[in-house]
Structure 1
Amino acid sequence: MARVVRFHEHGGPEVLRIENVDVPRPGRGEIQIRVKALGLNRAEALLRSGSYIETPRLPSGLGLEAAGVVETVGEGVGAFAPGDPVSVVPPLSMVRWPAYGEFATFPAELAVKHPPSLSWEAAAAVWMQYLTAYGALIDIAKLRQGDFVAITAASSSVGLAAIQIANMVGATPVAVTRTSRKKQALLESGAAHVIASAEEDLEAGLKEFAGPLGVRVVFDPVGGPIFEPLTAAMSRGGILIEYGGLSPEPTPFPLFSALSKSLTLRGYLVHEITRDPERLVAAKAFIIKGLLSGSLQPVIARTFPFDQIVEAHRFLESNEQFGKIVVTV
């Protein structure tokens, strides 16, 4: 028996329950880990509330990121042994492989022997944010030295990861946040410039910082009305990568900016990287290199104990965090 988090109905954080269940042994090609820490993601709140891309059968577990010690290996697994410390690349389905529990099972190919210098909390905060940012900025947009990149929702864990990756390759990250309350923290976290979109003219600010060449890459999980000022400030041949839809307002298609500048507007999910073995190997190598050099350092907003999973989800939905929320088990 092990304690796991499940929900029996869709709703707010209060529907999450810690229950004792029998945890089956890992199947062929899987490993089971004794979880030390969990990284929280907005996708888990969406699954819990019934608005995610997966539709679970209830009761359902949840969770995408974990770090811990290998407890048991399934048939055919040779790369790991009991006692190995690992962190986990988010699986394609958190319904099939839920992370929230004292024990969790994952495909062995998604486990990583992370640098031993990382704490359990930091290790649980690595893969979703850095893989998401890497896939968009490096794999797809080919971000390079001298580029200007606009990063919206910049105080999120993915936004902060994008700032670090931009600096790692010599690009100039311009952080876009709603108000100026987090401006100083973003500057201290590596943003070259910060624009408070609810208080300043977003288009004018981007054009001022990027100069006549404009912003070549935009990395956005928001959508909605900011599409027009973002694309208006982009360079000819620029690329906007959309990886979310946080805005409740309609997203206009910026027809004249797209036509006059030959822009690429592209949807993106991290699954593009995690389901492609060759691209995933390259991503892991890039991220581990950054972790070892210190260029990539997970920012932890707040840590909660496992028994406070409901409070952790409330904080997740408060939009008050700066960086990643982690739960220790």
Structure 2
Amino acid sequence: MEPSPPALTLTAAIDALASPYAMEDFSALTGASSLVVDLRDTAPAADGEAAQRAQMTLAQLACPTIAIAQPSQANGSHAWSALFDVCLEDETDLATLDHNIRANPQASLAMVQLLRHSRGLSIHDGLTAESLVYSTLQSGPEFATWLRDRKRPSVSAAANEPAVIVIRDAETVHVTLNRPERHNAFSAEMRDAFAEVLQVIDADASIRSVVLRGAGASFCSGGDLAEFGTLPDPATAHVIRSTRNPARLLARCADRVRCEVHGACAGAGAELPAFTSNVRAHRDATFWLPEVSMGLVPGAGGTVSLPRRIGAQRTNYLALSGRRINSEQALQWGLVDELSN
């Protein structure tokens, strides 16, 4: 792994960002993987024309921006800490972030830009933006490289049981993702069945509560990798996501849904539960976002649901670093609401 890029001081960063050439100097197009600024032991910069121009440019850079700040600064006491895409407390993860961003600079840029521009959008508009960005990347070189180099998983024979099991008990509906042999990989069949169930729940006010679970060893291991790259074109994929999007439906009935997760919660397995009003995680649950490493961004609603729970900076951190967090970390961040044994 290459050494991480040198961090600029805040003073040096302001000078660089105030330059009329800043957009060229810090761009994936010209080889700049990211902008890293060390805010530790630095008092908040005084207001001034250069600082104001630098802040405007910082929000527009064509590369991810990373701040290193003390814990108290990362919580907002430093005037600049909230302006970056990712905020780290030390350099521990800096090399990993830089390596991953260099490996997929287009997806990394798309990820942070999507979260920058999604602030304040409605859930519907945020999901539309996510789908459009996802489709753009589906036609890009990084996803093509991932498709070419991956070890294609075997396609399982059609199971005799449904991909989603629904049981109603009076006013409560129990919904179970049911592909345990594939750790409930979120296939097109499962997506469509889940969307159909959510349509019924949304329309039926007599359903007072919903419990969502996954069968087998994991809640959901993310999208079914065997199906990636099988749709005819990215435009058709966008139309499908716009029509049969479980995230949009789940958000509409979120106040009635409790999600119980365990084992692997990757991609969709982390993104969809975050829409619900209550997430209960077994202590063995592990959460991560693999999509940027595939040349994509989260596509099951995660760029909308996760920032609402853990903030944009932590969402970007998970997506760009690929790090896995355990249930206790997820509880501390607010990704889940309670733990179970």
Question: How would you bin the TM-score normalised by the shorter chain?
Answer: under 0.3
Of the two, which has the highest radius of gyration? 2
TM-score, length-normalised on structure 1? 0.25
More strand by share: 1
More helix by share: 2
